[in-house]
């Protein structure tokens, strides 16, 4: 298990759109009804998704972007790291120092998080 520690930062809003649009695909992959949005964390060091993680392939939904999905825990809650192949390779919308966490609730609201807060996650 890998522990990551990062600072909460505002995101672009892309995953909120795609999680909602591709809800059934994400549910099929994760077994969880994901809240349409992610919590973005800025890490001190670049992070690469673990080998062998789940994937939502672009061909599965007729799109142009594939997504890596890794189980994790945040505040003891089951969650998932989501990262596009481009961002994981270092040329996507986010640098490799940003990770996005998705779960069944809006983490900012449930845990009273604001930009600048420190959050730890455990990646399986």
Averages of pLDDT over each 10 residues, the chain, 124 residues? 96 80 94 96 96 95 94 98 92 90 97 98 94
Confidence at residue 73, expressed as pLDDT on a 0 to 100 scale: 98
Integer Cα distance of 47 and 40 in angstroms: 13
How many domains does the chain divide into?
A: 1
Range of the domain at 101: 2-123
Residues in the chain: 124
Q: List the structure tokens of 79.
A: 């969650």
pTM for the full model?
0.93
Residue 103 burial by Cβ neighbours in a 10 Å radius (0-12, 13-18, 19+)? buried
For residue 27, the domain's CATH number is: 2.40.30.30
């Amino acid at each position: 298990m890998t522990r990551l520690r990062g600072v909460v930062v505002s995101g672009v809003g892309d995953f909120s759109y795609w999680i909602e649009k591709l809800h059934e695909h994400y549910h099929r992959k994760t077994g969880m009804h994901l809240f349409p949005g992610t919590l973005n964390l800025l890490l001190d060091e670049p992070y690469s998704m673990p080998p062998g993680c789940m994937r939502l392939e672009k061909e599965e939904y007729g799109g142009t972007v594939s997504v890596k999905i890794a189980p994790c825990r945040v505040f003891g809650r089951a969650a998932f790291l989501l990262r596009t192949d481009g961002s994981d390779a270092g040329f996507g919308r986010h640098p490799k120092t940003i990770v996005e966490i998705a779960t069944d609730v809006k983490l900012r609201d449930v845990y009273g998080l604001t930009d600048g807060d420190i959050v730890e996650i455990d990646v399986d």
